[in-house]
């Protein structure tokens, strides 16, 4: 599996673009980064996206969704549907973003031309989509439903994503299941408010789960964390099992 980090920064620091991760040029996890621009830089296209996973509904994880869907709506090369999967309310949230941003006329065109479908995921969901096994775990964040995900390909290689989370049982289940885990690390050396992880907490998780490699992302500052890969925008990694 090929992982590309499109956005490695937290909500407000400007350390990197907001959250966005690409798997095998087909799957997008969160859409806070300007995905419609950045995918071109790694040889992918918006028209080629087949699945968008949303971890939660905060702006830094979702506010570029209208641009991605607008790009699909006005593209002549969309020949397959895009599945949008996320917590309950994802469809209503996405349509409200598009309608509030661009009006109901664009929203109607999106519905007819962007070839969208929706899947609701929640704690314990275990679905096969596009040949990938996708499991969801509820995690604890500041507001609303929040999910961590693991994605496994046909070889069993598994990449996990924390979304935003405090340390909790769902987070640890996702880490345990992953060969590589993309873990938010918003705070450095001290607790951070708002339902986020600090570098000290991530270091402890790494010691508990030595069989999982960690990529730290959602960074307010970019520092080295021994044993972890520090994400930056457009970082690309090829991941295999074991």
H-run or E-run covering 15: none
pLDDT tens-digit map of 46-85 = 999 999 999 999 999 999 999 999 999 998 888 889 999 9
Helices (H), the chain: 35-41, 59-62, 65-73, 90-102, 104-113, 169-176, 199-208
Domains of the chain: 2-238 (3.60.15.10)
pTM recorded for the entire structure: 0.96
pLDDT at 5 over 90: yes
pLDDT level of residue 13 (50, 70, 90 thresholds): very high
Give all strands of the β-sheet with 147-152 in edge-to-edge order: 126-129, 132-138, 147-152, 158-161, 180-184, 213-217, 229-230
Coarse DSSP helix, strand, coil percentages of the chain, rounded to the nearest 5 percent: 25, 30, 45
- What percent of the chain is predicted at pLDDT more than 90? 89
Question: Rounded mean pLDDT of 84-98?
Answer: 96
pLDDT tens-digit map of 206-228 = 999 999 999 999 999 999 999 99
Residue 219 pLDDT? 97
Residue 37 pLDDT? 97
Q: Which two tokens stand for residue 56?
A: 């939660």
CA angle 8, 49, 15 (to 5 degrees): 10
pLDDT at 242 over 80: no
pLDDT level of residue 192 (50, 70, 90 thresholds): confident
Residue 78 pLDDT? 82
Distance set, CA 15 to CA 7, 56, 70, 101 (Å): 9, 21, 27, 26
Q: Which two tokens stand for residue 186?
A: 């918003």
Task: Look up tokens 């040949």; give the residue.
Answer: 131
Question: Rounded mean pLDDT of 145-150?
Answer: 97
Other beta carbons within 10 Å of 117: 10
DSSP-assigned letter for residue 31: E
pLDDT tens-digit map of 15-50 = 999 999 999 999 999 999 999 999 999 999 999 999
Residue 86 pLDDT? 98
- Who's near 240: CB < 8 A, 6+ residues apart? 1, 155, 157, 179
Residue 212 pLDDT? 98
């Amino acid at each position: 599996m090929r992982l590309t980090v499109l956005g490695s920064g937290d909500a407000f620091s400007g350390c990197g673009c907001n959250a966005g991760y690409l798997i095998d040029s087909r799957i997008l996890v969160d859409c806070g980064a300007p995905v419609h621009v950045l995918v071109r830089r790694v040889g992918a296209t918006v028209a080629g996206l087949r699945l968008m996973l949303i971890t939660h509904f905060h702006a830094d994880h979702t506010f570029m969704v209208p641009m991605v869907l607008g790009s699909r709506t006005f593209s002549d090369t969309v020949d397959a549907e895009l599945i949008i999967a996320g917590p309950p309310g994802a469809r209503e949230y996405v349509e409200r973003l598009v309608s509030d941003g661009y009006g109901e006329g664009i929203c109607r065109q999106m519905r007819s031309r962007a070839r969208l479908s929706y899947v609701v995921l929640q704690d314990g969901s275990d679905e096969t989509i596009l040949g990938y096994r996708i499991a969801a775990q509820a995690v604890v964040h500041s507001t609303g439903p929040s999910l961590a995900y693991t994605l496994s390909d046909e070889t069993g290689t598994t990449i996990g994503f924390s979304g935003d989370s405090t340390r909790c049982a769902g987070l640890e289940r996702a880490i345990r299941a992953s060969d590589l885990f993309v873990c938010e690390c918003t705070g450095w050396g001290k607790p951070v408010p708002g339902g986020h992880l600090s570098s000290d907490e991530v270091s402890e998780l790494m010691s508990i789960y030595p069989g999982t490699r960690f990529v730290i992302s959602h960074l307010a500052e970019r520092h080295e964390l021994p044993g972890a890969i520090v994400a930056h925008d457009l970082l690309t990694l090829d991941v295999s099992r074991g």
